[in-house]
Amino acid sequence: MIFVVATAAMLIFAAATQGFMLVKSRWYESALLLLVAFTLFRPGFWMDMVDAPYREVPPAQFEQALGEIGPRDHLMVRVEGLDAYGAPTSFVVQVPATEGSSGSERLDSLGLHLMQEDGKVLVDTTDFGSQADKLGFDFDQQIVSVRIPRDQLPKELMWIPGLLLFALIVLLQRRRRGAGKSREALA
């Protein structure tokens, strides 16, 4: 199915960039064809706007969230603080679900030790050479936000409005082509 849709998207993209499909395309038809091609290539772009792939949880629930995710999932964690040279840093890291049946066990196997201080979640230490160390966690950095994956509608549903828009463009161009043929017959 993906091969068929990708092939259709490439043909629609070619029609849009060349300005001709059934008849010479008007500028807005070319723009809409580009939109259709993009939708067929990247339906997840639109689906993420309609149905968010992550939900925000308070940083204090980091350990609990790590215990909730599936074995192939990951948390999106925003960290702020100082890097090893003392310069301010801010980054987002994907924290995978490591071995363990609870959030506490997964945190230990990650090599990450946290503490709460004044309502903030801070990195206390990371085990040397651990996965947390490799991900960039460092002493005294603050975990600012935690996003956990959530069930999302299938992104392929976005193909439906894209293909409907394509059908509208085909209808408009067929009507114009039919009007052109009837003018030729009158002449």
What is the C-alpha to C-alpha distance for residues 5 and 19, in angstroms, rounded to an integer? 21
Residue 85 is predicted with a pLDDT of 83
pTM of the predicted structure, to 2 decimals: 0.69
Residue 94 is predicted with a pLDDT of 94
What is the C-alpha to C-alpha distance for residues 151 and 59, in angstroms, rounded to an integer? 21
| pLDDT band (50, 70, 90) for residue 185 | low
**Residue 105, exposed/middle/buried by CB under 10 A (0-12, 13-18, 19+)?**
middle
Rg (CA), the chain: 26
Half-sphere exposure of 30 (CA within 13 A, CB side): 12
pLDDT above 90: percentage of residues in the chain = 73
User: Which tens digits make up the pLDDT trace of 8-62?
Assistant: 999 999 999 999 999 999 999 999 999 999 999 999 999 999 999 999 999 999 9
